[in-house]
């Protein structure tokens, strides 16, 4: 029995690097897409790079065991926000080619502020969470056995916060109707 347990533990340790490798690949793709997003001179390409970054965030949520947050990320940000951004590009009649007048001489100040923010946030995160480990099971401790995070969130939304959820749905519907009215005036 102990030999079988030791073999299973070794198998888990040997494959423990795989999720980390996937995370670092996704993180690298997100960082590169974010850099291209802020450095491109084409508005449509910037929107597509933003799509890649937001997809990477959804993938990270899935790695963390937050399925509901990943589904919300995909539906809200990838769906609604990207459609809103593309409508904004279409309604403002932005040029589709490369823009030459989007650059300015204060690039180094922006880079300095960005590096400073990175240093401050990195220090703050390291100071707050230094050597802490994430729990192996992301389900809350007070959750009933067999209940997943998504089910807990859904139960809260459709019981405790039902009225707020419905009001938000009506508000989003009104915003959609307003966007259609504004777009049809031309």
Binned at pLDDT 50, 70 and 90, residue 185 comes out as low
DSSP state of 77: I
Residue 88 shares a structural domain with residue 162: no
Which pLDDT score, from 0 to 100, does residue 1 have?
59
| Beta carbons of 50 and 85 less than 8 angstroms apart | yes
| Beta carbons of 114 and 79 less than 8 angstroms apart | no
Given 58, 78, 95, which residue is the final one in a domain? 95
Overall number of domains in the chain: 2
Picking from 64-68, 169-173, 180-184, which range would have the lowest pLDDT averaged per residue? Answer: 180-184
Which pLDDT score, from 0 to 100, does residue 151 have?
75
Residue 2 shares a structural domain with residue 89: yes
| Beta carbons of 102 and 28 less than 8 angstroms apart | no
Q: What is the pLDDT of residues 48-86, one digit of tens each?
A: 898 899 999 999 988 887 888 888 888 888 877 777 777
Given 70, 95, 120, which residue is the final one in a domain? 95
Residue 153 included in any domain = yes
CATH number, domain of 82, equals 1.20.120.1200
Residue 105 included in any domain = no
Task: For residue 34, give both structure tokens.
Answer: 């974010």
Residue 137 included in any domain = no
Residue 129 included in any domain = no
Picking from 90-99, 145-154, 161-170, 175-184, which range would have the lowest pLDDT averaged per residue? Answer: 90-99
What is the C-alpha separation between 72 and 167, in angstroms, rounded? 18
Residue 38 included in any domain = yes
Which pLDDT score, from 0 to 100, does residue 117 have?
94
Residue 174 shares a structural domain with residue 88: no
- How far CA 171 is from CA of 76, 153, 159, in Å, comes to 14, 21, 20
Residue 12 shares a structural domain with residue 82: yes
| Beta carbons of 87 and 183 less than 8 angstroms apart | yes
Residue 51 included in any domain = yes
Which pLDDT score, from 0 to 100, does residue 5 have?
58
DSSP state of 144: P
Residue 161 shares a structural domain with residue 74: no
Residue 21 included in any domain = yes
Q: What is the pLDDT of residues 75-122, one digit of tens each?
A: 888 877 777 777 767 666 656 555 566 667 787 888 899 899 999 999
Residue 79 shares a structural domain with residue 151: no
What is the C-alpha separation between 80 and 57, in angstroms, rounded? 16
Residue 85 shares a structural domain with residue 165: no
Give the domain extent around 186. 147-186
Binned at pLDDT 50, 70 and 90, residue 6 comes out as low
Q: At a CB cut-off of 8 Å and minimum separation 6, what does 95 contact? A: 43
Residue 91 shares a structural domain with residue 1: yes
Which pLDDT score, from 0 to 100, does residue 4 have?
59
Give CA torsion, residues 104, 105, 108, 110, to 10 deg.
Answer: -40
What is the C-alpha separation between 90 and 70, in angstroms, rounded? 28
Q: What is the pLDDT of residues 146-160, one digit of tens each?
A: 666 677 777 777 788
Given 80, 95, 110, which residue is the final one in a domain? 95
Binned at pLDDT 50, 70 and 90, residue 33 comes out as very high
Residue 4 shares a structural domain with residue 86: yes
């Amino acid at each position: 029995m102990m030999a079988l347990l030791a073999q299973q533990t070794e198998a888990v340790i040997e494959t423990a690097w795989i999720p980390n490798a996937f995370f670092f690949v996704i993180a690298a793709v997100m960082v590169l897409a974010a850099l291209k997003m802020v450095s491109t001179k084409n508005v449509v390409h910037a929107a597509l790079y933003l799509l890649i970054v937001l997809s990477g965030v959804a993938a990270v949520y899935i790695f963390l065991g937050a399925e509901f947050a990943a589904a919300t990320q995909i539906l809200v940000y990838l769906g609604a926000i990207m459609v809103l951004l593309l409508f904004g590009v279409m309604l403002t009649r932005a040029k589709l080619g490369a823009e030459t007048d989007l650059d300015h001489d204060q690039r180094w100040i922006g880079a300095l502020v960005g590096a400073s923010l990175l240093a401050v946030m990195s220090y703050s995160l390291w100071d707050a969470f230094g050597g802490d480990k994430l729990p192996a099971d992301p389900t809350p401790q007070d959750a009933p056995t067999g209940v997943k995070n998504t089910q807990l969130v859904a139960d809260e939304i459709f019981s405790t916060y039902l009225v707020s959820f419905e009001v938000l749905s009506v508000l989003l519907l009104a915003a959609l109707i307003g966007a259609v009215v504004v777009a049809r005036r031309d």
